[in-house]
C-alpha cells in the first residue's frame, strides 16, 4: 500500500485560514482570519490551575539512573513559592535576573517557573558555552549583558571553569550538587525549604502579561548572541495559537518525551509550555540525535508513550534506522501518538517513507506529519500546517491573531511579522531592536517565503531561504542558496551533516561539506572513532560523495544550480570561531572566512586530489 493511499489516524486539528490584501507600496498584507482566544496572564497561572484541577498528575519527570524522578502539579506549585522567596531574598529583580547555565532537569524548570512567579526574568544559557567552548567568549558576553543576580549550575564542579571565567566574583552561585571549588555556593535542596512571606504574594500579584518572563539568547549564527526579551504575553498567547491549530491538545493532556534544550525557544517555551498550559506530562529525554547518545532516547521510548512527538530530522532518521531492531520502541512511539512534528531542516523523503511504513506496520494507518515556522522572536509559533506535509519546507499559514507582510526583495518575497507573540525587542540593545522592526512595526525576520499555490492562498506558504544568503556568480546569475543547499544535503544523505556553499563573484558554485563522520566510517567499514582525515579520504567515502554529487550535477539546468566542485572536510565546525552555533546551525560566512584556503582550493586552476570535480551532462571533467 502506498503512503498516499494509506488512511491517516484521526486527530482533531483546527482550522487555518487567511486573507491577502495588496498594499500601495507593492507589498502584500496577509492576515489570519482565525480569532485568537483569550489567553492567561502567565504560564504559571496555567500551572496553578492544573495544580487545583489535577494535583496528582505528573507535570515533569527526568532520569536518575534507571528510575524516573517525578513531580506532580501540586508538588511543583508547593516548591515554586519557596524558591521564589529565596530569589527575592537574594536581591534578584528585573535588573538582576536569574541565569541558568546547565541543561534540562527538574530543578532547572522549577527555578525558571519560580522566577516567572514573582516577576524576575530568567535566562537559560546554552551549556555548550560553558562545556564545549574553550575561550568562554559567548558566555562572558551573555553574563555582561544580563548582569545576573544569581547563577544556577546543576553540577558546580563541572561548570567551575566557565563560572570563574564569566561570572563576576560575589555573584551568588546555586548548585544541585558539587559546589565549585573556591567559590561559595548554596544548594537547591537548601533554598527549596525557604519560608514563604507575603513578599511572594505581593510580587506574584503584580506580574502582568507584559512582565518579562525570560531572556532567550539567539544562537549567534551571525555574531554574538542577542537576548530576546520574552514576555508572559508572548508565551501564553502563543499557546492559544497552538491550541487553535492543534485542537487535539485540548481534548486530553498531552504527553511529551523531548530532549530539545531549554535555552532554545522550541524546547524551553513551545514544548514545556504546551505541556503546562494543557495539564500534560513532560518527560525529559536525556538522549540526543547523535550516534553516541541516541540509544538513551530508545531506552526512554521503552518507558514512555508520547501523544505528541516533535524532533529534528536527524532524530527521525535515527528512529527509522532503529525500528527493525527495536520493535518495542516502534510500538510505544505509535501506540498513542496523535502527531509527528519536525523543525530545523527538511525531512528527507526516505525518512518520510520510513515513518509512514513503520506506522502502518504498527497501527495499520499513517500518523500525520506536520511542520511549522517561527523564531525565538515569535515565541516561536508563527506558521503551521494543519494538514499532512507532503512538500519539504511547507510552513502553512499564519497563526491565529497574526498578520504578515510580504515585501518584494529581488526575485523573492521577504517575510515580516506582527502579533502579540512577537518580542518587544532585544535585551538592553535599543540599536538592534530598532533595526529589527520596519516603519509599520513588523518584525524583519530575514527570511523569504513563496506561495505553495499562487492561485490558492489556503494552500499556505513554502520557506524560500534567507533573504541575505542568495548570491550572484561572476556571470550575474543568482544562486538560490536554500534550494541548492537542500539539494546537496538530500543527495548526500546520510553521509552529510551540512554544507557551506561558495561562489560569490566566482564562475561556479562550490561546496564545502561537513560529513557525518560516524556514518562515513560505517560506509567505509572503518572503526568508529577513526582519524577524521582517514575517514573522509577513504576511497569508498570519496566515491560515494562523488557518485551522489555527480548525479546531482548531471541534473543541473544551469550554473545557478550546478555544484561544480566539492571538498569533504575532516575538521568539524568550531564553536569558538563562530562557525557553528550550540544547536548545530552553520554560520556560512564564518566558515568561508576561517577556511579561506579551502575556498581557494575549490577554485584553483588545477584542483588538488581532495577536490571532487562534478561536470554537468556534456561537460568535460
Lowest mean pLDDT among 46-50, 105-109, 168-172, 504-508: 504-508
DSSP 3-state assignment of 95? coil
DSSP 3-state assignment of 72? strand
Using CB atoms within 10 Å of the CB of residue 99, give its burial: 0 to 12 exposed, 13 to 18 middle, 19+ buried: buried
DSSP 3-state assignment of 237? helix
What is residue 348's predicted lDDT score, i.e. its pLDDT? 75
**What's the whole-number mean pLDDT along residues 432-441?**
96
Sign for the pseudo-dihedral over CA of 223, 227, 229, 234: positive
How far apart are the C-alpha atoms of 460 and 453, rounded to whole Å?
Answer: 8
Is 549's pLDDT higher than 80?
yes
Q: CB count, 10 Å around CB of 458?
A: 11
Given a contact cutoff of 8 angstroms between Cβ atoms, the answer to whether 383 and 416 are in contact is no
* Packed helices 43-53 and 73-89: angle between N→C axes, nearest 10 degrees: 140
Given a contact cutoff of 8 angstroms between Cβ atoms, the answer to whether 39 and 49 are in contact is no
Share of the chain above pLDDT 70, in %: 97
Lowest mean pLDDT among 1-15, 29-43, 67-81: 1-15
**What's the whole-number mean pLDDT along residues 15-26?**
95
**What's the whole-number mean pLDDT along residues 219-246?**
91
What is residue 263's predicted lDDT score, i.e. its pLDDT? 96
Higher-pLDDT residue of 529 and 72 is 72
What is residue 5's predicted lDDT score, i.e. its pLDDT? 54
Is 220's pLDDT higher than 80?
no
What is residue 347's predicted lDDT score, i.e. its pLDDT? 74
Given a contact cutoff of 8 angstroms between Cβ atoms, the answer to whether 355 and 372 are in contact is no
**What's the whole-number mean pLDDT along residues 382-393?**
85
Mean pLDDT of the chain: 93
What is residue 587's predicted lDDT score, i.e. its pLDDT? 85
What is residue 345's predicted lDDT score, i.e. its pLDDT? 62
**What's the whole-number mean pLDDT along residues 178-184?**
94
What is residue 343's predicted lDDT score, i.e. its pLDDT? 75
**CA-closest candidate to residue 148, choices 84, 108, 100:** 100
Where does residue 208 fall: left (phi above 0), alpha (psi -120 to 50 degrees), or beta otherwise?
beta
Q: Where are the beta strands (DSSP E) in 387-508?
A: 394-398, 403-409, 412-418, 443-451, 461-466, 471-472, 478-479, 496-502
Omega of the bond leading into 494 within 30 degrees of 0 (cis): yes
β-bridge pairing 496-502 and 509-515: antiparallel
β-bridge pairing 281-284 and 58-64: parallel
**CA-closest candidate to residue 124, choices 133, 115, 132, 137:** 115
pTM of the model: 0.85
**What's the whole-number mean pLDDT along residues 91-116?**
98
How far apart are the C-alpha atoms of 115 and 72, rounded to whole Å?
Answer: 19
- Output the nine-digit C-alpha cell for 342: 519536525
**What's the whole-number mean pLDDT along residues 198-220?**
95
- The string of pLDDT tens digits covering residues 580-611 is 876 677 888 889 999 999 999 999 999 999 99
Omega of the bond leading into 123 within 30 degrees of 0 (cis): no
DSSP 3-state assignment of 125? coil
How far apart are the C-alpha atoms of 415 and 488, rounded to whole Å?
Answer: 25
**What's the whole-number mean pLDDT along residues 382-389?**
91
What is residue 3's predicted lDDT score, i.e. its pLDDT? 45
Is 510's pLDDT higher than 90?
yes
- The string of pLDDT tens digits covering residues 119-142 is 999 999 999 999 998 899 999 999
**CA-closest candidate to residue 394, choices 343, 341, 452, 479:** 452
**What's the whole-number mean pLDDT along residues 513-539?**
94
β-bridge pairing 227-231 and 18-22: unpaired
User: Residue 400's pLDDT band (boundaries 50, 70, 90)?
Assistant: very high
What is residue 325's predicted lDDT score, i.e. its pLDDT? 95
**What's the whole-number mean pLDDT along residues 322-333?**
96
What is residue 222's predicted lDDT score, i.e. its pLDDT? 55
Amino acid at each position: 500500500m502506498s503512503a498516499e493511499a494509506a488512511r491517516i489516524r484521526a486527530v482533531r486539528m483546527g482550522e487555518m485560514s487567511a486573507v491577502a490584501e495588496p498594499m500601495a507600496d507593492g507589498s502584500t498584507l496577509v492576515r489570519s482570519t482565525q480569532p485568537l482566544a483569550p489567553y492567561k496572564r502567565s504560564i504559571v497561572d496555567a500551572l496553578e490551575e492544573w495544580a487545583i484541577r489535577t494535583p496528582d498528575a505528573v507535570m515533569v519527570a527526568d532520569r536518575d539512573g534507571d528510575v524516573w524522578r517525578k513531580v506532580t502539579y501540586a508538588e511543583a506549585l508547593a516548591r515554586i513559592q519557596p524558591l521564589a522567596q529565596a530569589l527575592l531574598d537574594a536581591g534578584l529583580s528585573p535588573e538582576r535576573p536569574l541565569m541558568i547555565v546547565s541543561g534540562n532537569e527538574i530543578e532547572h524548570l522549577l527555578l525558571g517557573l519560580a522566577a516567572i512567579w514573582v516577576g524576575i526574568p530568567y535566562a537559560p544559557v546554552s551549556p555548550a558555552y560553558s562545556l564545549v567552548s574553550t575561550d568562554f567568549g559567548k558566555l562572558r558576553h551573555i553574563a555582561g549583558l544580563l548582569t545576573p543576580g544569581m547563577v544556577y549550575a546543576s553540577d558546580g564542579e563541572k561548570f567551575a571553569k566557565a563560572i570563574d571565567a564569566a561570572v563576576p566574583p560575589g555573584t551568588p552561585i546555586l548548585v544541585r550538587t558539587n559546589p565549585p571549588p573556591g567559590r561559595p555556593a548554596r544548594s537547591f535542596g537548601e533554598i527549596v525549604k525557604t519560608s514563604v512571606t507575603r513578599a511572594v504574594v505581593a510580587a506574584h500579584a503584580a506580574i502582568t502579561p507584559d512582565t518579562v518572563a525570560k531572556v532567550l539568547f539567539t544562537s549567534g549564527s551571525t555574531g554574538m548572541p542577542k537576548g530576546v526579551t520574552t514576555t508572559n504575553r508572548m508565551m501564553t498567547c502563543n499557546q492559544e495559537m497552538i491550541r487553535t491549530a492543534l485542537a487535539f491538545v485540548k481534548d486530553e493532556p498531552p504527553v511529551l518525551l523531548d530532549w530539545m534544550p531549554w535555552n532554545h525557544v522550541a524546547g524551553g517555551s513551545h514544548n514545556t509550555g504546551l505541556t503546562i498550559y494543557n495539564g500534560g506530562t513532560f518527560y525529559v529525554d536525556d538522549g540526543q540525535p547523535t550516534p553516541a547518545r541516541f540509544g538513551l532516547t530508545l531506552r526512554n521510548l521503552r518507558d514512555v508513550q508520547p501523544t505528541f512527538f516533535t524532533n529534528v530530522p536527524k532524530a527521525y532518521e535515527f528512529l527509522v534506522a532503529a525500528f527493525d531492531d527495536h520493535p518495542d520502541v516502534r510500538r510505544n512511539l505509535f501506540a498513542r501518538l496523535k502527531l509527528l512534528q519536525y523543525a530545523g531542516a527538511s525531512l528527507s523523503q526516505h525518512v518520510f517513507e520510513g515513518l509512514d511504513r513503520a506506522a502502518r506496520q504498527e497501527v495499520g494507518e499513517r500518523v500525520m506529519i506536520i511542520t511549522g515556522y517561527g523564531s525565538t522572536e515569535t515565541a516561536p509559533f508563527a506558521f503551521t500546517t494543519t494538514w499532512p506535509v507532503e512538500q519539504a519546507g511547507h510552513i502553512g499559514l499564519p497563526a491565529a491573531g497574526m498578520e504578515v507582510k510580504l515585501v518584494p526583495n529581488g526575485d523573492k518575497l521577504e517575510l515580516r511579522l506582527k502579533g502579540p507573540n512577537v518580542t518587544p525587542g532585544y535585551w538592553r540593545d535599543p540599536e538592534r531592536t530598532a533595526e529589527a522592526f520596519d516603519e509599520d512595526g513588523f518584525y524583519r525576520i530575514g527570511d523569504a517565503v513563496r506561495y505553495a499555490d499562487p492561485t490558492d492562498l489556503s494552500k499556505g506558504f513554502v520557506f524560500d531561504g534567507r533573504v541575505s544568503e542568495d548570491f550572484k556568480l561572476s556571470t550575474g546569475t543568482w544562486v538560490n542558496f536554500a534550494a541548492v543547499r537542500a539539494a546537496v544535503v538530500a543527495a548526500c544523505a546520510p553521509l552529510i551533516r551540512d554544507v557551506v556553499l561558495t561562489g560569490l563573484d566566482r564562475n561556479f558554485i562550490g561546496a564545502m561539506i561537513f560529513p557525518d563522520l560516524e556514518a562515513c566510517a560505517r560506509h567505509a567499514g572503518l572503526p568508529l572513532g577513526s582519524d577524521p582525515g582517514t575517514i573522509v579520504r577513504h576511497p569508498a567515502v570519496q566515491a560515494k560523495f562523488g557518485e551522489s554529487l555527480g548525479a546531482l550535477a548531471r541534473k543541473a539546468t544551469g550554473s545557478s544550480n550546478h555544484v561544480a566542485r566539492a571538498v569533504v572536510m575532516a575538521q568539524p565546525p568550531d564553536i569558538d570561531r563562530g562557525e557553528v552555533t550550540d544547536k548545530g546551525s552553520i554560520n556560512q560566512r564564518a566558515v568561508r572566512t576561517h577556511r579561506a584556503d579551502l575556498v581557494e582550493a575549490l577554485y584553483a586552476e588545477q584542483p588538488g586530489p581532495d577536490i571532487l570535480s562534478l561536470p554537468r551532462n556534456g561537460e568535460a571533467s
